[in-house]
Structure 1
Amino acid sequence: MTKTTGRHLVIIGSGVAGLSAALEAVRLGSQVTVLTKDALGDGNSKLAQGGLSAVTVQGVAAGDSVQAHVADTLKAGAGHCGVNAVQLMCAAAGELVATLEDYAVNFDANADGSYQLGLEAAHSAHRILHVDGDATGAGLIDALRQAVRLAHKAGQLEIIEYALANGLEFADDQLRGVSYLHDDQELVLETDAVLLATGGLGSLFTASTNPAGATADGIGLAARAGAVIADAEFIQFHPTLVDPLKYPQAGMISEAVRGEGAILVTESGDRFMPAIHELAELAPRDVVARAIHGQNLAGHRVFLDARAVEQKQGAGFLTRRFPSISARLKAAGLDLAAQPIEVVAAQHYWMGGIHTDTKGRSSVPGLYAAGECANTMVHGANRLASNSLLEAMVFARQAVRAMITDQAGRVCDTSQLQLSELPPAKNDAPLELHQLQTLASEHLGVHRTGQGLQSLRSVLESSAPVAQGRRELAELTNLWITARIITQGAIRRTSSLGAHHRLDAQDGQQAAIRYGFRLAQTKRSDNRTQSKEINA
């Protein structure tokens, strides 16, 4: 490896955040090692269907603006976003798109060379860029991974694959290394700073759009190191996962399909979204997910019907516009153009995470975070569609710049955060993955109640994760820690906000009636919640 000046950085994870960070570190001439628990580029990012939200020069010419993107993001986030972070992200989108094109990302274009801009829920303008229709994540990963491989071949960075980070090493209050499992050995990699870019927590739930590797690894690492975990209660559920019990390999159907005009109906053909929200099927994701789940609780099945879109646009339109989705559905014996597809709400994205500032700094010196495992305050209580890829890459690049230049001991400001610390677990009863998934799906799902959350907390506090294999146990422990943090945050926030919906609160009860089912009302209060895991 070519010797360079500056600090040695370790990036844990290789989705769009990790890969973007690695390339920025190379550009700035820093020594960097990418540590990833599976193959380079595996994970959630490559599954992203919707696209990349970005206001470019072309977008401005079409009547959109950065401030309109900011306003849409703040509105979707239910007033819980960090305004400065949102403004930074939206303003940086144009430069990011240009950088991605330098790395050979080819965004879909019209015949005149202009971007094909899509519309998704809660956006006020067409500003979603795509790659190969519905394969934006895969397109980004392919291009960034190839650039990282080339940098590795040129001796500009190191890559360690199939290595699960399972601990952070400190000396004299400074982060000095990362311990990791590789070929069933525990090794230590020395470093000056670490960026956690490990993705989400989908394996905590029975139904999730995430791959199996989404096991909250970064949260577990950060929490055990004493980092502040913020807004943990805000978990986004995607409205339209093809029923996983009937079609386990069919996957999710992008929101962009509804953006093209698909509607949601019950088994009797009744359309229910117009009565719930003025934007109907294009309402924010939390609203649509609750509506679908509410129909399920009321005894109805819900279907996504895109047949009218095909009829209007002409035969073959849906296959051309959504090739990956169409291929997966065809493999399951389904046809989006010919029949309504049964869907359910499923865990999709976590707005909470390791609390960071706009430079990616956590509350632990030398520890940074970006992507889904980080909470930059951009998404607030509910993420705006297609903002995740943008946020991950913008703040990953910001973090690398800070990692190179920060003085020792620099951390983000947490003085305004209200922390709820967790008591030590009793570790009495063994807890396996399927048991944790069942509990989380029941009590941390689309709708929550105080009674259910208290019951879940009691179970988690008296449990001890058990699994076969060192990697499996490490992953389950990370999920267990994260579940405890989320539960504590959800208990403290006794009113509904964004993706956190309390049926036993007054606002939740009113929404339940609107969605077609009821639950007894209980006393409410209101707290802003951040959680910090101790003595895990």
Structure 2
Amino acid sequence: MKSVDIVIIGSGLAALSLADRLSNDKNVIVLTKGKKYNSNSVRAQGGVAASMSEQDDWENHFRDTMVAGCNVNNHEAVELMVRQGPGFITKWIEEGLGFDRDRFGKILLGKEGAHGKRRILHAGGDATGNVVMEFLMNRLQGKVTIVESEMVLDLIVEEGNCCGVITSNDQNRISTFHANHVILATGGCGGLYEVTSNDETVTGDGIALAYRAGAKMVDLEFVQFHPTMLNTTSDISHGLISEAVRGEGAILITEKGKRVMKDIHPLEDLAPRDIVARVIQSEINNGNKVYLDISMIDNFETKFPTITSICQHATIDVKAKLLPVAPGAHFLMGGIKTNLSGLTTVKGLYAIGEVACTGVHGANRLASNSLLEGIVFSNMLANYLLNLKEETTLPLVSLRATGSVRFKVDQLPTKAEIRRLMTAYVGIERTEQGLVHAKQWIEQFELNSNQKLDITKISKQDVEKINMLTTCKLIIKSALERTESRGAHYRNDFPVADNEWINKQIIRQRSIMRDKQKVKTEVVK
């Protein structure tokens, strides 16, 4: 058994950003079930959204985030993110992180769907995530231990306090890590669907771990589908075609040349992702192929080297100027319920990044707010942990897993079967009938009694499938409970939320925020 101050589960942006802040004061270990570069953060093409220009401000970014999120957002979380984000990014720039600049040395700012201003910072063209992650990896060398191929099987909870984890490596060796603080930064759940932009390791593990430990979940019905995955067949995705491509003028068309988003939304091809995804899927369901026309973008290969490489691997010639696309599972807006400092409802357990839900994204994440979320809320948690006045080392109790696995291990379905189910019934469009069918299909694999299995006796492969089934059922339960269509949760049997009402609520909230700020200013004076 190993004992450390802090265990961080996951190796994406939120995890490493937190580790970087804590490394000088705490004994930190990072555990990841794959390799350290297996994360969605490394894959991020679009960039980081932040109001960095003189033509922009945090209130504009706030409004765009709220509109995209259909006002389901936690207003306080949104304000915190858009106000604090530029400061953290500026600090990284001063410390050597290089974002793309024009020939005069000014940082280039791109525009993406549902953004009213150009505020997307890129690095390496469309390789932003990779550049930022390399920056963090370099900073952590010699300071933080990153253990690869170490899958967390379960959290250890004693008397309501999370005090460690039980893991298994590639040699199936079981280990335990005792810690005062356990942080989940495992990413989302794109691997529950057939077509996804996510890394192959992202299968909803963090949600399942937290659920077994007794943590509360929120907004799990909100699963965002990115409109433009590079697709040559119905169930195979070759990679993501960043929204930044449409931000540079690319348009969606059918094979007959019809403008897909024309007259559908005022922002047309840069409409919120849920709308664009549903329209593209509708065209595909009607037998039409959809393409991204990039003919208006000069020097495409130079501006988008990562996408060009993806196309080359898929044997698609970018010089033909038409890229075949289809929607794919991309981002989970909901997750483990946390406060603004990352604390969950279980003492000693924290969550940051996509696996967490502060409510900052609402019903539909605004483009390029994901990296910003990871940066801001990892820093909020770092501030909390570094400012704890007293920290009592937990006693070395008899460590054991939560032991609440209730699935028939010898009858588990394949991953492919799970993904087909979720894609068909819990995907871009849903109905009560389909959701009930999916729920009942999963329940057939559950034990009929209160029998609890020893998770350390189950293979890593089966634990992953159990985690997938657990997260799937939680998403289905949430989707059944929300009897309306809002943002990324679209129910064919219920109407779409009133956008006019949403806009009025956003305007009202901005007025309240201004009044609060005025009061604060007057008090200071």
- Shared fold (TM-score greater than 0.5)? yes
Matched, 1:41 2:30: no
Matched, 1:211 2:199: yes
1:65 to 53, 57, 67: 57
Shift of 1:62: 3.1
Given the two structures, how large is their TM-score scaled by the length of structure 2?
0.86
Matched, 1:178 2:165: yes
User: Which region of structure 1 is more displaced relative to structure 2, 468-477 or 66-75?
Assistant: 468-477
Instruction: State the distance in 1 between where 2:245 and 2:290 align.
Output: 16
What secondary structure, in the 3-state scheme, does the structure 1 residue paired with 2:215 have?
coil
Preserved contact between residue 168 and residue 175 of structure 2 (Cα < 8 Å): yes
Q: Across the two proteins, how many residue pairs are aligned to each other?
A: 477
What secondary structure, in the 3-state scheme, does the structure 1 residue paired with 2:412 have?
strand
The corresponding residue for 1:97 is: 89
Q: List aligned pairs for 1:504-519, cutoff 5 A.
A: 504-507=493-496
The corresponding residue for 2:337 is: 355
Instruction: State the distance in 1 between where 2:17 and 2:467 align.
Output: 25
Shift of 1:388: 0.1
Shift of 1:104: 3.0
1:295 to 272, 283, 299: 283
Instruction: State the distance in 2 between where 1:199 and 1:358 align.
Output: 18
Preserved contact between residue 425 and residue 462 of structure 1 (Cα < 8 Å): no
The corresponding residue for 2:429 is: 447
Matched, 1:271 2:271: no
The corresponding residue for 2:155 is: 168
Q: List aligned pairs for 1:70-85, cutoff 5 A.
A: 70-85=62-77
Per-residue Cα deviation, 1:242-274 (whole angstroms, up to 9, x for no partner): 115379573111101001111111121111202
Matched, 1:222 2:210: yes
Per-residue Cα deviation, 1:179-199 (whole angstroms, up to 9, x for no partner): 111231111011001110001
The corresponding residue for 2:464 is: 475
Coordinate RMSD, CA, aligned: 2.6
Matched, 1:31 2:20: no
Q: Which amino acid aligns with 1:504?
A: D
Per-residue Cα deviation, 1:55-111 (whole angstroms, up to 9, x for no partner): 22xxxx531001111111011000100011011111111221123225532100111
Shift of 1:507: 3.4
Per-residue Cα deviation, 1:376-413 (whole angstroms, up to 9, x for no partner): 1000000000000010121012112223445899xxxx
Instruction: State the distance in 2 between where 1:92 and 1:21 align.
Output: 16
Preserved contact between residue 66 and residue 90 of structure 1 (Cα < 8 Å): yes
What secondary structure, in the 3-state scheme, does the structure 2 residue paired with 1:192 have?
strand
Instruction: State the distance in 2 between where 1:485 and 1:247 align.
Output: 24
Instruction: State the distance in 1 between where 2:304 and 2:56 align.
Output: 25
Instruction: State the distance in 2 between where 1:337 and 1:362 align.
Output: 49
1:208/1:495 Cα in 2 relative to 1: closer, same or farther (>3 Å)? same
Instruction: State the distance in 2 between where 1:350 and 1:64 align.
Output: 27
What secondary structure, in the 3-state scheme, does the structure 2 residue paired with 1:507 have?
coil
Q: Which amino acid aligns with 2:292?
A: L
User: Which region of structure 1 is more displaced relative to structure 2, 241-250 or 217-226?
Assistant: 241-250
1:14/1:91 Cα in 2 relative to 1: closer, same or farther (>3 Å)? same
Matched, 1:434 2:416: yes
1:252/1:7 Cα in 2 relative to 1: closer, same or farther (>3 Å)? closer
Preserved contact between residue 305 and residue 336 of structure 1 (Cα < 8 Å): no
Q: List aligned pairs for 1:322-401, cutoff 5 A.
A: 322-401=304-383
* Percent identical: 38
1:120/1:355 Cα in 2 relative to 1: closer, same or farther (>3 Å)? same
Shift of 1:294: 1.0
Instruction: State the distance in 2 between where 1:239 and 1:140 align.
Output: 24
Instruction: State the distance in 2 between where 1:7 and 1:304 align.
Output: 49
1:424/1:168 Cα in 2 relative to 1: closer, same or farther (>3 Å)? closer
Matched, 1:87 2:89: no
Preserved contact between residue 188 and residue 331 of structure 2 (Cα < 8 Å): yes
Instruction: State the distance in 1 between where 2:233 and 2:287 align.
Output: 17
Preserved contact between residue 193 and residue 366 of structure 1 (Cα < 8 Å): yes
Q: Structure 2: any 5+ residue segments left out of the alignment?
A: 392-403, 448-454, 498-525
What secondary structure, in the 3-state scheme, does the structure 1 residue paired with 2:21 have?
helix
Per-residue Cα deviation, 1:403-458 (whole angstroms, up to 9, x for no partner): 3445899xxxxxxxxxxxx9977889532211110000001111001100011111
The corresponding residue for 1:13 is: 10
The corresponding residue for 2:293 is: 305
Instruction: State the distance in 2 between where 1:481 and 1:40 align.
Output: 25
1:460 to 442, 462, 468: 442
What secondary structure, in the 3-state scheme, does the structure 2 residue paired with 1:189 have?
strand
Shift of 1:461: 1.3
1:496 to 477, 485, 492: 485
Preserved contact between residue 427 and residue 462 of structure 1 (Cα < 8 Å): no
Q: Structure 1: any 5+ residue segments left out of the alignment?
A: 1-5, 152-156, 311-316, 410-421, 509-536
Instruction: State the distance in 1 between where 2:173 and 2:264 align.
Output: 54
Q: Which amino acid aligns with 1:94?
A: P
Q: Which amino acid aligns with 1:163?
A: E
Instruction: State the distance in 1 between where 2:405 and 2:71 align.
Output: 31
Preserved contact between residue 40 and residue 145 of structure 1 (Cα < 8 Å): no
Instruction: State the distance in 1 between where 2:55 and 2:21 align.
Output: 32
2:224 to 236, 241, 255: 236
Shift of 1:505: 1.4
Given the two structures, how large is their TM-score scaled by the length of structure 1?
0.84
Shift of 1:216: 1.1
Preserved contact between residue 406 and residue 446 of structure 2 (Cα < 8 Å): no
Instruction: State the distance in 2 between where 1:407 and 1:232 align.
Output: 34
